[in-house]
Structures are given as structure tokens and as C-alpha cells.
Amino acid sequence: MSGFFKSSIGRKVAMALSAFFLMFFLIIHLAVNITSLFSEELFNELSHFMGTNPLVQLALQPILIFGVVFHFVMGFVLEIKNKKAQGVAYAKNNGAANSTWMSRNMIYSGLVILAFIVLHFIDFWIPELNVKYIQGDMSGLIEGTESFRYYEELHHKFSPAWRVAAYVIAFVLLGLHLAHGFTSAFQSMGSSASQKKTLKSLGKAYSIIIPLGFIIIALVHHFNH
């Protein structure tokens, strides 16, 4: 297994697999969050299920965290390896003539997205851990009521304009990151030349729809205060 990660192909395949996993997670995450726009009750029910289900909490959540860390670490490793492999020739080569701006700057968009994930954890994940495991409240209810707290917490978080702006900028960069990363992941897994056009179209649609969905959620909650 260690030999697999030492090879260039092995690292690219591992990077692609982690990308597929995270792209699938984004679909699930968006599907749950978007229900907050039309059904407070449904969003609360789904959030409570995701927040208390043992399979999600004890198995899928650790896998997700590992997947995020692995993807970013592997991205940095690949960037460093590529820089070393190109050496002096890299400086002499006109990169803009052979690749897109985004493909040459994936590391920077990745760093911004990583910073956003830290903010997202501070906003939602860490407070959730505090309520459930420090305070010992697994009910998910607003204190003194029979109503779940998840919708109110989400709605409240998008009140400050600065936080909404940070989310919008992060998701725009996520879209640019996905626009290249989607097709790159399939290429690493050996997609054929005949599939390139279809994958490019799917990647463009995915990289627009997913970030736009999250942006709409943030904006709707902000302007409905």
C-alpha cells in the first residue's frame, strides 16, 4: 500500500477517489440544507436524524473528516511533487498557453476553501459537538420548547453580512475549483477521450449548480431576517 502512494499514478488515483467522495457529500449536504428554504419542519427532522444517527455520527462523520484532511494533504503533496518534477523547465514554460488559470492555481483556491471549512466548523460543527457531548443535550430541542433548534441556528448564522459575504466568496472559489477538479478526477481514473466532452459538460453543470445552491441558501436566510 505504501508503494501505491509513492507512485505518481497512485497519488493521483487516491486524490481522485477522495474528490469523488467529497463531491458526493456536497450533493447530500446541499439536498438537506436546501429543504430549509421551503420546509422548516423537514429541515429540522433531517438535521436531527443526521445529528443523532449512530451510523452517521460514529462511522460516516469520521470518514468525512478523514476524507477532507486526506484530500487537502494529498493536494499539497501533488503540488510539491509537480513543482519539483518540472524544475527549471517550469519557469521557462508558458503555462498559460497549455492550461487554464484555475488548473494552475488549484492550490490557492484549495487554501481558501480549507479556510472556509475551518470557519464552517467553527460556525456549526464545534457548537453542535458542544451541545451534544459537553452539555449532554441530545434532544435537539430549543430549551423549554418542543421545537427543534436546527433551523433557528442556521437562520441566525446568516444574519451578519460579513459571514454571508465570506460564504459567497468561498463558494464562488469552490465552483472554480470544481470546474477543473471534476474532469481531472475522472481523467486520473482513466476516462477515455470520447468521454471528455460529456464529462466537461457534467463538470461545468456540477460546478455551477452545487455552489449556487449553497449561495442561494445563505442569501435567502440573510435577506429574510
Looking at every residue in the chain, the average pLDDT score rounds to 88
Query: pLDDT tens digits, residue range 15-26?
Result: 999 999 999 999
Q: How far is CA 68 from the centre of its chain?
A: 8
pLDDT at 1: 57
Query: pLDDT tens digits, residue range 122-154?
Result: 999 999 989 998 999 999 999 888 899 999 999
pLDDT at 90: 46
pLDDT at 190: 86
pLDDT at 105: 73
Cell of 75: 493536494
Q: Does domain 2-223 match CATH 2.40.30?
A: no
Write the DSSP string, the chain. -HHHHHSHHHHHHHHHHHHHHHHHHHHHHHHHHHGGGT-HHHHHHHHHHHHH-HHIIIIIHHHHHHHHHHHHHHHHHHHHHHHHHHHHHHHHS-HHHHS-HHHHSHHHHHHHHHHHHHHHIIIIIHHHHIIIIIS---S-BPTTSSSBSHHHHHHHHT-SHHHHHHHHHHHHHHHHHHHHHHHHHHHHTT--GGGHHHHHHHHHHHHHHHHHHHHHHHHHHHHT-
pLDDT at 194: 84
Running along the chain, 225 residues long, what does each successive block of 10 average in pLDDT? 68 91 96 97 96 92 93 88 66 54 76 89 90 90 90 96 95 93 90 87 96 98 93
Distances (CA, A) of 148 to 32, 48, 120, 142, 214: 15, 8, 21, 6, 22
pLDDT at 104: 74
d(CA 157, CA 59): 27
Write the DSSP string, 57-74. IIIIHHHHHHHHHHHHHH
What are the two backbone dihedrals, phi and then psi, of residue 71, each rounded to the nearest 5 degrees? -60, -45
Cell of 221: 436566510
pLDDT at 92: 47
CB 5 within 8 A of CB 11: yes
Name the residue ranges covered by the structural domains of the chain: 2-223
How many other CB atoms sit within 10 Å of the CB of residue 44? Answer: 21
pLDDT at 196: 86
